[in-house]
Homo-oligomer: A and B are copies of this chain.
Amino acid sequence: MVNKKLEKNKKIKSGDNSDVYHHGNLREELLDIALEVLIEKGVSDISLREVAKRAGVSHGAPYRHFKDKNILLGSLARRGFNQLATELSNVISDYPGDPQKQLVEAGVVYVRLAIASPELTQLMFGGRIDGDCWDSIEEDVGENAFQSLLNIVINGLNADIYKNEDSMSIALACWTSMHGLAMLYSAGQLDISSDHFDPDSLSRMISDMLLYGLLK
């Protein structure tokens, strides 16, 4: 009578089942530990074996939960995209009715994430994750973050603040500016401790330049 095939390919989401052999929910624990190792060792030095060792399981165990290393890293990147999407949509509600402020603060949030989690940022945007994995990520959450940006731009278009009328072009211009700044910070190519390069004020300054233009 009960159809058990309804949720094929999906893990049970309720946290009540503690009868799962050894580790409760090894999958989530592996992801937590992987994030630790990522922060410690960096994207190119994180190893599945190290993650397994810290979780107290054999090096083969992670393969029951992730097809390979790329899938695990992809899941980690997805977390980052989710966080980014959440924070961007929060910016919209933080400054209702002020699309210009929304745009500037979205940039600040984007750059802050890159500085708070440089290794995660490099993982998300470093181009190291296989195509197979990317597709499933972008559909879910990568698009969500960009959609938040688009919404901010559309808010501005509705308020009639922009010269240009193409939301995509405006969004791309804003994205590339802040993305460049984020990538330079997360790669260590811009010195945070320098006076000239304070993250918050620099991102606001660049946003302002983009909004008002460089030329006389």
Contacts and interface: CB of A to CB of B under 8 A. Distances in A.
**Copies of this chain, count:** 2
Contacts of A177: 173, 176-177, 180, 210
Contacts of A163: 212-216
Nearest to A121: B127
Interface residues of A, number: 49
Contacts of A24: none
Nearest to A127: B187
A180 B176 contact: yes
B43 A189 contact: no
Contacts of A206: 172-173, 176
A108 interface: no
Contacts of A162: 214-216
A213 to B, nearest CB: 3
A102 interface: no
Contacts of A44: 44, 128
